[in-house]
């Protein structure tokens, strides 16, 4: 797999070099023209400037996307925490309102919880340390 990737990258660089040096049919860096304040800059300097401006724009766009993603992650995490907190508060208020009706269900649950805690405590006392 690693050899295949190395050959593929080498092949792509060879294609890029071929395109740069032949620059026929409107392709390649040799035909790049940069227009700054109405002045057209072509040739190798135009290709260099086009590459520089393109790379700078991509670097700037990547930085902006990273910052926007971080801000959105913080904002949505905060909104999510508020939503979960609101739902928990609503469930607590609803449980307080319905608690007299839930008492018959809570008594067996408390008994089961007590029995499980007691058996867990006895098991931990029986195991040697």
In the chain, pLDDT over 90 holds for what percent of residues? 7
In the chain, pLDDT over 70 holds for what percent of residues? 88
Of 1-10, 17-26, 102-111, minimum mean pLDDT range: 17-26
User: Domain segments of the chain: what residues?
Assistant: 32-119
Three-class HEC string of the chain: CHHHHHHHHHHHHHHHHHHHHHCCCCCCHHHCCEEECCEEECHHHHHHHHHHHHHHHHHHHHHHHHHHHHHHHHHHHHHHHHHHHHHHHHHHHHHHHHHHHHHHHHHHHHHHHHHHHHHHHHHHHHCCC
- Is a pLDDT exceeding 90 seen at residue 15? no
Decide: pTM greater than 0.85: no
Segment 42-51 shows an average pLDDT of 77
Which has more confidence, 30 or 128? Answer: 128
């Amino acid at each position: 797999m690693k050899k295949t990737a190395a050959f593929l990258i080498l092949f792509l660089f060879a294609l890029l070099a071929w395109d740069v040096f032949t620059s026929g049919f409107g392709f390649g860096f040799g035909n790049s023209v940069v227009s700054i304040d109405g002045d057209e800059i072509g040739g190798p300097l135009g290709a260099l400037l086009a590459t520089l401006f393109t790379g700078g724009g991509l670097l700037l766009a990547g930085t902006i996307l990273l910052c926007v993603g971080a801000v959105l992650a913080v904002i949505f995490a905060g909104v999510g925490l508020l939503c979960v907190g609101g739902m928990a508060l609503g469930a607590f208020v609803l449980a307080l309102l319905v608690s007299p009706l839930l008492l018959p269900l809570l008594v067996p649950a408390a008994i089961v919880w007590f029995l499980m805690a007691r058996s867990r405590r006895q098991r931990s006392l029986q195991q040697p340390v």
